[in-house]
C-alpha cells in the first residue's frame, strides 16, 4: 500500500516534468498554427509512456546508477591506485560514447558535408571511414576528458583555469579549422553525454571528492561532464584539420 | 500492435546501449577492485528499472512528441505561414517577421529541458551535496531559461545568417567574466549544466527546428546552418546557472543587510 502511494507520487512528479511540453505544444497548436493535431490518441498514449518511463528511470537512478558510481569512487579512493582509476575513467568515457546513437547520426551527416565540400571523396566506403574516424575521435576525446576531470579532482585544481584554457584552445582552433567542420565540432560537444552516463559520472565525481580528504564535493565533485563536452570540440576540429 | 513492436526494438537498442557501461562497471568491480557489489540484487533491479524507464521514455517521445514537434517546427518555419502571420504580402522577409519562431524556439527549449532526465539526475545530486543551497527546481529552471535564451538566439542567427563563431566566442567571454565573480561552489556545476541539457529530449526537436529554418530561408544551407543550435543550448545555461547563484548570493546579502539595519534600528530605539 505504502509502495503504491510512493509510486503514485513519482508518477505525479513525472507528469509535472512533462507538463511544460504539453502546454507549449497545445498553445502553439491552438492559437498559432490552428490546425488539427493528427492522431491525437497516439499522442496521448505516447505521453503516458513518457511519464511511466521517467518514473522508472528516476527509480533506477537512485537504486543503481548513483550508488554504483559512488561505491566505485569509494573503492578506488580506498585502494589508492591512480593508474587503475584513470584507466576506469577512460574506459567509462570511451565505452559510453562509442555506442551513442546521437553521435552516430551526427558523424554520418558530417561525412555527407565533407564529401559535398570535396574534403573527402564522394564514395560510400570513404564516407563510412570518415564517419567512423570521427566517432572514434569523439569517443577518445570523451575518455581523455573523464581522465583529465578525475585527475583534477585528485589534485584539487580549480576547474576554471582548465576550462578557460580549453575555451581558448577552441577559439584559436576555430580560425584554423576547415569551415565545414566548425558547426559539427561545436555540436559534437553536446551530443556526447547520454542519459545513463551523466548520473554515473556525476556520482563518480562527487563520490571521489567526498572520500578524498581536503576536497569539497560541491567545488571539486562536479565538472566531469564539462570536460566531456569541451574536449570533443577540440578533437573534432583537430580531426578536420588533419584529414 | 506496432507500438509493442516499437517498444521491443527500442528496448533491444537500449540494452546494447547500456551493456558496455554495465560490462565496464562489473568488469572493474570483479577484476580490479575485487569486491562484491553491495546489495547486488537491489542494484541489478535498479539497472532493470533504468532499462525499462529509458525504453518507455524513448518510445513515448518517438510516438508523441517528436512527430508533433517536428511538424510544428516545419509549419512555423514555412514561408507562407510566416508571411501570413507577419502580414507581409510580397517581397522578402525580414528578421523580425519570424517572431513566432523565436517564441517557439524559446518555449520548446525551456519545456524540453525541464523534462530532460540527465538534468534531473544532476539536480538531485546538486541538492544533496549543496545541503539545499541549490534546489532541484531552482537548478532546473535556471538551466531551462538558459536553453530557452540560447535556442531563440540560435534561431535568430540562422535567420540573419551571421557566423556561428562570433556568438560562441562572445558567449565564452561572458562566461569567463562571470566565472571571476560567481560564488566558487557553483562554477563546476554551472559548467556541467552546459553539457547535461542536450541529450534525449532536446536534441531531436531542436535539430528539427534548425533544419526547418535553414531549409526554408533562401541562401541558407540545411547542412551547414542547421548545425550550431545545440552549441547555443549548451553555452547559455552556464551563464544562467552562474547567474542563479549570483542572484541567490545577492539576495542573501541584502537580507543580511536589512536584518542588520533592523537590529541597529531596534537597538537605537531601546536606548
Which SS3 state, helix, strand or coil, does residue B217 take? coil
B13 touches chain A (CB under 8 A): yes
Rounded Cα–Cα distance for residues A101 and B123 (Å)? 25
More confident position, B87 or A212: A212
- Band of residue B88 on the pLDDT scale cut at 50, 70, 90: low
Q: Which residues of B touch A198 (CB under 8 A)?
A: 118, 121-122, 195-196, 199
| pLDDT given for residue B89 in this prediction | 60
Instruction: Please give the DSSP secondary-structure letter assigned to residue B95.
Output: G
User: Closest partner residue to B24 among A50, A95, A164, by Cβ?
Assistant: A95
Rounded Cα–Cα distance for residues B61 and A101 (Å)? 15
Query: Which range, of A44-53, B165-174, B220-229, averages the lowest pLDDT?
Result: B220-229
User: Closest partner residue to A102 among B61, B68, B203, by Cβ?
Assistant: B203
| pLDDT given for residue B126 in this prediction | 94
What is the mean pLDDT of the segment spanning B91-112?
84
| pLDDT given for residue B268 in this prediction | 64
The answer on pLDDT for B270 being more than 60 is: no
CA angle B16, A195, A91 (to 5 degrees): 60
Q: What is the pTM of this model?
A: 0.88
Q: By the 8 A CB rule, do A207 and A70 touch?
A: yes
More confident position, A38 or B39: B39
Percent of chain B at pLDDT > 70 equals 93
Minimal-distance CA residue of chain B relative to A37: B68
The answer on pLDDT for B110 being more than 90 is: yes
Length of chain A: 243
The answer on pLDDT for B146 being more than 80 is: yes
Grid coordinates representing A188 are 559534437
| pLDDT given for residue A152 in this prediction | 94
Rounded Cα–Cα distance for residues B145 and B139 (Å)? 10
The answer on pLDDT for B199 being more than 80 is: no
Grid coordinates representing A176 are 584554423
| pLDDT given for residue A102 in this prediction | 72
Percent of chain B at pLDDT > 90 equals 33
| pLDDT given for residue B147 in this prediction | 94
The answer on pLDDT for B149 being more than 80 is: yes
Q: Which residues of B, range 63-82, sit inside 8 Å of A by Cβ?
A: 63-65, 67-69, 71-72, 75-76, 81
How far, in Å, are A66, A89, A200, B217, B255 from residue A69 at the CA level? Answer: 5, 11, 5, 47, 39
ipTM over 0.95: no
Q: By the 8 A CB rule, do A177 and A241 touch?
A: yes
Q: By the 8 A CB rule, do A22 and B112 touch?
A: no
- Band of residue B38 on the pLDDT scale cut at 50, 70, 90: confident
The answer on pLDDT for B271 being more than 60 is: no
Helix and strand totals (H; E) in chain B? 12, 0
Q: How far is A241 from chain B (nearest CA, A)?
A: 17
> Residue for cell digits 554515473?
A200
> Residue for cell digits 584539487?
A156
Which SS3 state, helix, strand or coil, does residue A184 take? helix
User: Closest partner residue to A50 among B61, B114, B130, by Cβ?
Assistant: B61
Tens digit of pLDDT at every position of chain A (243 positions) = 788 888 899 999 999 999 998 899 888 888 887 777 777 888 889 899 999 999 999 999 999 999 999 999 999 888 888 999 999 999 999 988 887 777 887 788 788 878 877 778 878 888 889 999 999 999 999 999 999 999 999 999 999 889 889 988 988 998 888 877 887 887 787 777 778 888 999 999 999 999 988 899 999 999 999 999 899 999 999 998 887
More confident position, B79 or B87: B79
| pLDDT given for residue B74 in this prediction | 81
Grid coordinates representing B18 are 547500456
| pLDDT given for residue B91 in this prediction | 62
B165 touches chain A (CB under 8 A): yes
Amino acid at each position: 500500500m505504502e509502495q503504491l502511494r510512493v509510486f503514485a507520487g513519482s508518477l505525479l512528479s513525472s507528469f509535472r516534468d512533462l507538463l511544460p511540453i504539453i502546454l507549449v505544444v497545445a498553445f502553439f497548436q491552438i492559437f498559432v498554427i490552428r490546425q488539427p493535431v493528427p492522431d491525437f490518441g497516439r499522442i496521448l498514449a505516447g505521453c503516458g509512456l513518457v511519464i511511466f518511463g521517467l518514473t522508472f528511470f528516476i527509480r533506477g537512478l537512485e537504486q543503481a546508477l548513483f550508488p554504483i558510481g559512488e561505491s566505485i569512487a569509494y573503492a578506488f579512493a580506498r585502494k589508492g591506485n591512480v593508474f587503475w582509476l584513470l584507466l576506469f575513467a577512460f574506459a567509462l568515457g570511451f565505452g559510453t560514447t562509442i555506442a551513442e546513437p546521437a553521435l552516430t547520426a551526427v558523424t554520418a551527416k558530417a561525412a555527407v558535408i565533407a564529401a559535398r565540400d570535396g574534403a573527402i571523396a564522394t564514395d560510400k566506403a570513404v564516407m563510412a571511414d570518415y564517419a567512423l574516424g570521427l566517432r572514434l575521435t569523439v569517443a577518445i576525446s570523451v575518455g581523455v576528458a573523464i581522465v583529465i576531470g578525475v585527475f583534477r579532482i585528485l589534485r584539487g585544481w580549480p576547474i576554471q583555469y582548465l576550462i578557460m584554457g580549453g575555451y581558448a584552445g577552441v577559439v584559436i582552433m576555430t580560425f584554423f579549422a576547415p569551415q565545414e567542420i566548425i558547426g559539427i565540432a561545436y555540436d559534437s560537444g553536446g551530443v556526447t553525454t547520454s542519459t545513463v552516463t551523466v548520473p554515473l559520472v556525476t556520482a563518480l565525481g562527487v563520490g571521489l571528492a567526498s572520500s578524498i580528504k581536503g576536497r569539497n564535493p560541491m567545488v571539486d565533485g562536479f565538472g566531469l561532464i564539462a570536460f566531456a563536452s569541451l574536449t570533443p570540440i577540440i578533437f573534432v576540429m583537430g580531426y578536420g584539420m588533419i584529414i | 500492435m506496432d507500438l509493442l513492436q516499437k517498444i521491443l526494438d527500442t528496448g533491444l537498442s537500449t540494452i546494447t546501449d547500456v551493456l558496455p557501461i554495465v560490462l565496464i562497471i562489473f568488469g572493474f568491480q570483479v577484476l580490479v577492485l575485487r569486491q562484491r557489489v553491495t546489495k547486488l540484487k537491489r542494484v541489478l533491479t535498479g539497472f532493470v528499472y533504468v532499462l525499462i524507464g529509458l525504453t518507455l521514455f524513448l518510445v513515448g517521445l518517438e510516438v508523441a512528441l517528436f512527430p508533433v514537434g517536428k511538424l510544428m517546427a516545419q509549419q512555423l518555419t514555412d514561408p507562407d505561414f510566416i508571411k501570413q502571420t507577419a502580414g507581409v504580402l510580397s517581397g522578402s522577409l525580414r528578421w523580425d517577421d519570424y517572431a513566432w519562431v523565436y517564441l517557439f524556439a524559446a518555449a520548446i527549449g525551456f519545456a524540453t529541458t525541464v523534462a530532460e532526465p540527465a538534468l534531473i539526475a544532476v539536480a538531485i545530486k546538486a541538492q544533496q551535496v549543496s545541503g539545499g543551497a541549490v534546489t532541484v527546481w531552482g537548478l532546473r529552471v535556471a538551466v531551462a531559461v538558459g536553453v530557452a535564451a540560447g535556442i531563440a538566439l540560435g534561431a535568430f542567427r540562422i535567420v540573419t545568417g551571421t557566423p556561428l563563431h562570433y556568438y560562441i566566442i562572445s558567449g565564452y567571454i561572458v562566461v569567463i567574466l562571470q566565472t571571476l565573480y560567481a560564488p566558487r561552489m557553483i562554477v563546476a556545476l554551472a559548467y556541467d549544466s552546459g553539457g547535461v541539457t542536450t541529450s534525449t529530449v532536446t536534441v531531436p526537436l531542436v535539430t528539427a527546428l534548425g533544419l526547418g529554418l535553414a531549409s526554408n530561408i533562401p541562401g541558407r544551407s540545411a547542412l551547414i546552418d542547421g548545425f550550431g543550435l545545440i552549441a547555443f543550448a549548451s553555452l547559455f545555461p552556464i551563464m544562467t546557472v552562474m547567474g542563479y547563484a549570483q542572484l541567490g548570493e545577492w539576495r542573501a546579502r541584502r537580507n543580511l543587510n536589512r536584518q542588520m539595519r533592523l537590529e541597529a534600528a531596534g537597538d537605537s530605539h531601546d536606548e
